[in-house]
């Protein structure tokens, strides 16, 4: 599959571009109706879609969709599945888990099931443009330092669904999304795009990125194939060892993690009620949860200090004040204080680690939509 870029951009960066789309976008829109801009966080477990018409700040579509497809099993009686559909997506698929074959199109942040990925993209396209008549231009988040194969797989999945595409690393998009554009001019506002370190802990990968006023190089980014899913796997393995035949599904284990996950010292006892074999049981899971979640810290802390040491000496003091944890991993209780304490104990100067907050699911997509609105005509890749 080939893509085309309309023309090579100019070598030197220019001043910021006005938000109004250039005239060529309007001529293109006349050929295929309107143009819809999409900011898309294609996550291993959850994807976030934001969409809006070009030339407007309106967001007409805002959805978080579990990244899962349910192919209805043979022999399911009519009327069991709403609309007698043969394929379900996201929450619909999960709610009909008994009657479908669940397929996750992504693993560790990259396409693992190409056919399913294409079906999923089709669904996303229909959410962004129910009419099917608009030209869709999508900025899609990819893991930091994603290889060319991973990028090409996403382009293939989006071919014929998105008309134009830009693939941008997720932690950088998170910084763009986290940035409060209304406060940039305020003298005391710390612009996260100017000097910060973002830690985006998702389902498949944990991505760290230095963002220091320019697009991060490969050296400014580290991607670790250990994140939410890996924690679930560790928890399930230890549950199976401690409570054999527990029958708990991976989805149930994930729910336990999302409700009770923590890092740092043991929070034993941590009693969790589960249904096993139809009966309620209370399991003490303090150490099971703590050990699994703390493994994440063992993986990301060295990457964090590596990036800090790569930052310039003139910028590192301010950088230490702007470490942000986002993604689903930001929900792990104590992750901000633990990382900050570890840095302090290791002698780093006044580190400050903060959480992205309740909008953590949307920051990558918000940053992607901002990028879609700002992208110049010649920057888009045309999916042929």
Q: Would you tell me which residues interact with other proteins (CB under 8 A)? A: 5, 8-11, 13-17, 110, 145-151, 166, 168, 172, 176, 184, 187-188, 190-191, 193-195, 213-215, 217-218, 317-318, 321, 370-371, 374-376, 379
Positive or negative, the CA dihedral 267, 207, 184, 38 is negative
Q: Toward other proteins, which CB reaches closer, 124 or 320?
A: 320
Min separation Cβ 370 and other proteins, Å: 6
From the number of C-beta atoms within 10 Å of its C-beta (0-12, 13-18, 19+), residue 382 rates as middle
CA distance 219 to 205: 17
Q: Toward other proteins, which CB reaches closer, 107 or 270?
A: 107
DSSP state letter for 266: -
Q: Toward other proteins, which CB reaches closer, 70 or 216?
A: 216
Min separation Cβ 315 and other proteins, Å: 9
Q: Toward other proteins, which CB reaches closer, 295 or 318?
A: 318
CA dist 204 → 131, 157, 176 (Å): 32, 19, 21
SS3 of residue 177 by DSSP: helix
Sheet containing 100-103, strands listed edge to edge, beginning at the edge strand earlier in sequence:
87-89, 69-72, 100-103
From the number of C-beta atoms within 10 Å of its C-beta (0-12, 13-18, 19+), residue 267 rates as middle
Q: Toward other proteins, which CB reaches closer, 248 or 375?
A: 375
Could you give the maximum distance between any two Cα atoms of the chain, in Å?
A: 67
Query: Strands, E, within 202-241: which ranges?
Result: 206-211, 221-224
Min separation Cβ 110 and other proteins, Å: 5
DSSP state letter for 104: -
Closest CA to 100 of 113, 87, 109: 87
Q: Toward other proteins, which CB reaches closer, 297 or 375?
A: 375
Q: Toward other proteins, which CB reaches closer, 142 or 332?
A: 142
Min separation Cβ 128 and other proteins, Å: 20
Min separation Cβ 266 and other proteins, Å: 36
CA distance 49 to 161: 14
Min separation Cβ 324 and other proteins, Å: 16
Q: Toward other proteins, which CB reaches closer, 316 or 355?
A: 316
CA distance 244 to 221: 40
Q: Toward other proteins, which CB reaches closer, 217 or 249?
A: 217
Q: Toward other proteins, which CB reaches closer, 142 or 331?
A: 142
Min separation Cβ 73 and other proteins, Å: 31
Strands 196-201 and 323-326: parallel
Min separation Cβ 50 and other proteins, Å: 15
Strands 35-41 and 135-142: parallel
Min separation Cβ 38 and other proteins, Å: 15
Min separation Cβ 7 and other proteins, Å: 11
Do 299 and 206 form a contact (C-beta atoms < 8 A)? yes
The per-residue b/e assignment along 303-312, b for 16 or more CB within 10 angstroms, e otherwise, is bbeebbeebe
Residues 6+ apart with CB under 8 A from 60: 36, 51, 52, 53
């Amino acid at each position: 599959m080939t893509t085309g870029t309309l023309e090579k951009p100019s070598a030197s960066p220019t001043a910021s571009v006005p938000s109004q789309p250039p005239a060529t976008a309007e001529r293109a829109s006349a050929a295929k109706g309107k143009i819809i801009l999409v900011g898309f966080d294609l996550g291993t477990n959850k994807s976030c879609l934001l969409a809006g018409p070009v030339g407007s700040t309106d967001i007409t579509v805002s959805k978080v969709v579990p990244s899962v497809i349910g192919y209805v099993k043979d022999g399911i009686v009519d009327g069991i599945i709403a609309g007698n559909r043969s394929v379900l997506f996201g929450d619909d698929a999960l709610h009909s888990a008994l009657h479908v074959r669940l397929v996750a199109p992504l693993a560790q942040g990259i396409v693992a099931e190409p056919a399913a990925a294409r079906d999923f993209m089709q669904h996303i396209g229909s959410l962004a443009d129910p009419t099917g008549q608009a030209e869709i231009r999508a900025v899609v988040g990819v893991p930091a330092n994603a290889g060319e194969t991973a990028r090409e797989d996403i382009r293939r999945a989006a071919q014929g669904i998105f008309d134009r595409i830009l693939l941008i690393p997720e932690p950088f998009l998170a910084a763009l999304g986290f940035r409060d554009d209304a406060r940039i001019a305020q003298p005391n506002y710390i612009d996260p795009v100017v000097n910060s370190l973002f830690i985006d802990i998702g389902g498949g990968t944990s991505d760290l990125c230095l963002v220091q006023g320019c697009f991060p190089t490969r050296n400014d980014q580290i991607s670790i194939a250990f994140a939410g899913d890996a924690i679930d796997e560790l928890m399930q393995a230890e549950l199976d060892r401690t409570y054999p035949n527990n029958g708990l599904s991976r989805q149930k284990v994930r729910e336990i993690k999302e409700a009770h996950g923590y890092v740092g010292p043991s929070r034993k006892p941590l009693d969790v009620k589960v249904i096993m074999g139809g009966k309620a049981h209370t399991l003490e899971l303090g150490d099971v949860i703590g050990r699994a979640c703390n493994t994440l810290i063992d993986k990301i802390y060295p990457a964090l200090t590596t990036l800090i040491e790569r930052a310039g000496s003139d910028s590192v003091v301010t950088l230490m004040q702007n470490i942000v944890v986002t993604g689903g991993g930001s929900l792990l209780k104590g992750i901000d204080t633990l990382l900050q304490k570890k840095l302090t104990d290791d002698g780093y100067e006044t580190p400050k680690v903060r959480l992205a907050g309740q909008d953590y699911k949307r920051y990558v997509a918000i940053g992607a939509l901002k990028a879609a609105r700002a992208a110049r005509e010649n920057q888009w890749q045309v999916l042929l």
